[in-house]
Chain A
Amino acid sequence: MGNVPTKESRSRSSTFSSNSGIQPPSNGDMTGFITRTSVPRRYATSSAMNQSNSNNNLGGLLSNNTSSLLDFKKSKRQEEKDRIQELHYLNLLVKYNENVDGGYLAPFGTYKSNLDFNTDIVRKLIINRELSPFYTPLQDFDESWSENELLIILNQLPLHAIDIAYSDLEENLEDDIDNHKIHKSANYYKRQEQKLKLKNLLIKIKNLQKDEELKFMIEKEKAKSSDNTNVEISSNDLLLALYQNPLECPICFLYYPANLNISRCCLQPICTECFVQIKRLDPHPPHDETSNNQNNADKKFLPHTLISEAASCPYCASPEFGVTYDTPDNIFTGIGSNVKPGDYKIVKDNEFDDEDVDEEEEEDDREEDVLDDEEAVITSSDSASSSPLKSNPEPESITKQSSSIISITKRRRRRSSLAANAPGVITIDMIRPDWEQRLTSARNKLERKAATATAIHASNLLLNGDEDSSRSRSNSNIMMTNSNRNSANSHLVQLQTVEDRMIEEALRLSIIDEEERKKKVEAEEEAKSKK
């Protein structure tokens, strides 16, 4: 408790890490996904929303009622945010028919938090075979297991660790300290509403995942009882090819097919689920001092000095962590391929080459640089599905328009390190491209906070009345700005100046706000125009 007056309405940063920083769909590459009609629109239930919705007629908009127009824009923006959040979580559903080389497009659920990576980008990278798919991990592995034993275990694996991943849902929402205050802050109700919305969304996602799990089980049972297997489900041959010699990911200690991602710098393996967890630290002042350094509170660092460094390699600490991915030999099934995961049969190397490999050299400048001599280009004859989230399993129905042909380049295992910007290297910034935007907004937030503190401090000094010399000295800069006003009552002058300053400050901050908003709108426009 210092000289700052009691202020109950201090805003607290959101504690929901999973909620923040979800990005709009990157661009129109996933058109099928965005326009897909099976996404139920959820409308926000806030009273503000209802109000503006009822005003949502031409007359209401044309009337010069700017405040309701603002409300309307605000609620539109909120609606858009909610929609993006919903799409993000829908993208985190593991679907059995979104199979890429025996893996999936969404994580198994080993981690509950940090799921704010850009799901559209990651899905695309997996479909393009630039990142290892999200494989279902084996909790244990024993080399002495027979093929049959291994298959029994593999066939019992669920799509997703529902019980672990959503275990916190049943618990109460985190206690909000405002519940214990005399007055709740202005943000409190919005915060509660957002939390509740997120909780309801997660419950919905959990149920969708359960449905998916059930479908998966039923299809597997059907396959057992008849010969009519579902071609969308990995064949036993595919499972064996993948899991017979698994690797333990050095971070989660789970077993995965050996085609893990490889760190660009020190060639260490990392599963995709761990890779998407690694991100920049939140924006922080440089040289973060130790926690109980007494000067810390007084030390004012400048907002623009906030930094956020690219994450280092967890293994060798090289800056700018990135990975490359080598597709498994002889496995090319599921999305982007003309071989269904259920049709996969283990074949010998040379047979495989004769059947499926088109030896025609492709002009593929993206991959050319890293190609080794032993290059083989597989070109899928079907048009590749770029909209994996379709509700019906036939890819042809939606994807006729996008006839992008995915070519897969198999190369010899890499043995040397690569630069962060080398072709084929996927860095952690590529899957969370919003880091720069976050840094800017953290700086602006801090700037606003500092300005408010200064203003309160200045007004306090004056309102406290008695003017000793030291105080007027500390205020001299304020006096100077208004020195031409030769008022006899210096106290009044000071008060007026402070008021002016606060108004100036408010203006400046609203300009910053407006600029931020404009930038966002521009970014959105850009994204739209790319479509």
Chain B
Amino acid sequence: MATLPKRIIKETERLVSDPVPGITASPSDDNLRYFEVTIDGPSLSPYANGKFQLELYLPDEYPMCAPKVRFLTKIYHPNIDKLGRICLDVLKDNWSPALQIRTILLSIQALLGAPNPDDPLANDVAQEWKQDEQKAISVAKEWTEKYAVSKD
């Protein structure tokens, strides 16, 4: 494998030495550009108590292009589709090379706390969210309970 850019090495080190509360990210053994990620659902959201698995990959052009991120845990959210793909501006056109893995994961956590059904990716969820927000929130809670809460 080609040498890892210093930036990725330093970001990884700093993620370990100075972790973000409620977020973990560790590189996989055979590909240091590929991270296993967990994000805790924000406490005042339907995703509270859930621990969501994600995967993150830093393409060759990183940091000049955004990391690729996807939910692996099923989640009911207007901006996250059935395959876990995330609709978030900073992952697309509004990416800036001054952002980092850390800041991106924080943005995703914030998205869980503030769903935006007007800019949807999962069309049907967004529709349901707009029609009956209370019901949508309870479905989101159900799914969190069902898929994102570890049962010991």
A and B touch in the complex (CB under 8 A): yes
Contact surface of A with B, Cβ cutoff 8 Å: 110-114, 139, 163-164, 167, 250-254, 268, 274, 277-278, 281, 288, 290-294, 312, 314-315, 317
Q: Using Cβ atoms and an 8 Å threshold, which residues of chain B touch A112?
A: 60
* Contact (Cβ within 8 A) B121 A290: yes
Whole-angstrom CA separation of A253 from B12 in the bound complex: 12
Q: Using Cβ atoms and an 8 Å threshold, which residues of chain B touch A277?
A: 64, 97
* Contact (Cβ within 8 A) A111 B92: no
Q: Using Cβ atoms and an 8 Å threshold, which residues of chain A touch B11?
A: 253
The residue that B6 contacts in the complex, of A252, A292, A294, with Cβ under 8 A, is: A252
* Contact (Cβ within 8 A) A253 B97: no
Q: Using Cβ atoms and an 8 Å threshold, which residues of chain A touch B98?
A: 250-251, 268, 314-315
The residue that B96 contacts in the complex, of A110, A139, A164, A317, with Cβ under 8 A, is: A317
- The reply to whether the CB of B40 lies closer than 8 angstroms to some CB of chain A is no
The residue that A252 contacts in the complex, of B3, B5, B96, B120, with Cβ under 8 A, is: B5
Write the chain B residue with the least CB distance to A268.
B98
Q: Using Cβ atoms and an 8 Å threshold, which residues of chain B touch A288?
A: 92-93
A23 CB to nearest B CB, Å: 20
Q: Using Cβ atoms and an 8 Å threshold, which residues of chain B touch A253?
A: 6-7, 10-11
The residue that B97 contacts in the complex, of A167, A294, A314, with Cβ under 8 A, is: A314
Q: Using Cβ atoms and an 8 Å threshold, which residues of chain A touch B7?
A: 251-254
Q: Which of B80-129 contact A (CB under 8 A)?
A: 81, 85, 87, 92-94, 96-98, 119-121, 123
A253-B6, A290-B121 given; 20 more Cβ-contact pairs under 8 Å: A113-B61, A114-B61, A139-B6, A163-B3, A164-B2, A164-B3, A164-B5, A167-B2, A251-B63, A252-B6, A252-B7, A253-B10, A253-B11, A278-B97, A290-B87, A291-B85, A292-B85, A292-B121, A294-B123, A312-B96
Q: Which 8 A-B pairs have the closest CB atoms?
A: A314-B98, A314-B96, A253-B7, A253-B10, A167-B2, A251-B97, A315-B98, A290-B121
- A111 in contact with B96 given A164-B2, A253-B7 (CB within 8 Å): no
Write the chain A residue with the least CB distance to B122.
A292
* Contact (Cβ within 8 A) A281 B81: no
B4 CB to nearest A CB, Å: 10
Whole-angstrom CA separation of A274 from B2 in the bound complex: 20
Whole-angstrom CA separation of A489 from B138 in the bound complex: 65
Write the chain A residue with the least CB distance to B4.
A164
A348 CB to nearest B CB, Å: 35
* Contact (Cβ within 8 A) A254 B61: no
Q: Using Cβ atoms and an 8 Å threshold, which residues of chain A touch B63?
A: 251-252
Q: Using Cβ atoms and an 8 Å threshold, which residues of chain A touch B61?
A: 113-114
A253 CB to nearest B CB, Å: 4
Report 7 cross-chain contacts, Cβ distance below 8 Å, ordered by A residue. Answer: A113-B60, A139-B6, A251-B63, A253-B6, A290-B119, A291-B85, A314-B96
A85 CB to nearest B CB, Å: 21
Whole-angstrom CA separation of A110 from B97 in the bound complex: 14
Whole-angstrom CA separation of A483 from B32 in the bound complex: 68
Q: Using Cβ atoms and an 8 Å threshold, which residues of chain B touch A251?
A: 7, 63, 97-98
Q: Using Cβ atoms and an 8 Å threshold, which residues of chain B touch A268?
A: 98
Q: Using Cβ atoms and an 8 Å threshold, which residues of chain B touch A315?
A: 96, 98
Contact surface of B with A, Cβ cutoff 8 Å: 2-3, 5-7, 10-11, 60-61, 63-64, 81, 85, 87, 92-94, 96-98, 119-121, 123
Whole-angstrom CA separation of A110 from B123 in the bound complex: 41
Chain A interface main SS type: loop
Whole-angstrom CA separation of A490 from B94 in the bound complex: 53
Q: Using Cβ atoms and an 8 Å threshold, which residues of chain B touch A114?
A: 61, 64
Interface centre among A110, A163, A290, A293 (most CB of B within 10 A): A290
Q: Using Cβ atoms and an 8 Å threshold, which residues of chain B touch A278?
A: 64, 97
B69 CB to nearest A CB, Å: 14
* Contact (Cβ within 8 A) A281 B6: no
Whole-angstrom CA separation of A114 from B63 in the bound complex: 12
Write the chain A residue with the least CB distance to B94.
A317
Q: Using Cβ atoms and an 8 Å threshold, which residues of chain B touch A292?
A: 81, 85, 121
B131 CB to nearest A CB, Å: 19
* Contact (Cβ within 8 A) B121 A274: no
Q: Using Cβ atoms and an 8 Å threshold, which residues of chain A touch B81?
A: 292
Q: Using Cβ atoms and an 8 Å threshold, which residues of chain B touch A312?
A: 96
The residue that A110 contacts in the complex, of B5, B93, B121, with Cβ under 8 A, is: B5
Whole-angstrom CA separation of A274 from B6 in the bound complex: 14
Write the chain A residue with the least CB distance to B120.
A290
Write the chain B residue with the least CB distance to A140.
B6
Whole-angstrom CA separation of A113 from B60 in the bound complex: 9
Q: Using Cβ atoms and an 8 Å threshold, which residues of chain B touch A163?
A: 3
Write the chain B residue with the least CB distance to A248.
B10
Whole-angstrom CA separation of A444 from B46 in the bound complex: 48
B84 CB to nearest A CB, Å: 12
Whole-angstrom CA separation of A1 from B119 in the bound complex: 30
Q: Using Cβ atoms and an 8 Å threshold, which residues of chain A touch B94?
A: 317
Whole-angstrom CA separation of A118 from B7 in the bound complex: 26
Q: Using Cβ atoms and an 8 Å threshold, which residues of chain B touch A317?
A: 94, 96
Q: Using Cβ atoms and an 8 Å threshold, which residues of chain A touch B85?
A: 291-292
A453 CB to nearest B CB, Å: 26
Whole-angstrom CA separation of A110 from B96 in the bound complex: 18
A176 CB to nearest B CB, Å: 19
Whole-angstrom CA separation of A301 from B93 in the bound complex: 19
- A281 in contact with B96 given A113-B61, A253-B7, A290-B121 (CB within 8 Å): no
Interface centre among B6, B81, B87 (most CB of A within 10 A): B6
Whole-angstrom CA separation of A250 from B96 in the bound complex: 12
Whole-angstrom CA separation of A290 from B122 in the bound complex: 10
- A281 in contact with B3 given A111-B64, A251-B98, A253-B11 (CB within 8 Å): no
Q: Using Cβ atoms and an 8 Å threshold, which residues of chain A touch B121?
A: 290, 292
Whole-angstrom CA separation of A268 from B3 in the bound complex: 28
Whole-angstrom CA separation of A372 from B93 in the bound complex: 38
B7 CB to nearest A CB, Å: 4
Whole-angstrom CA separation of A22 from B152 in the bound complex: 60
Write the chain B residue with the least CB distance to A167.
B2
Write the chain B residue with the least CB distance to A110.
B5
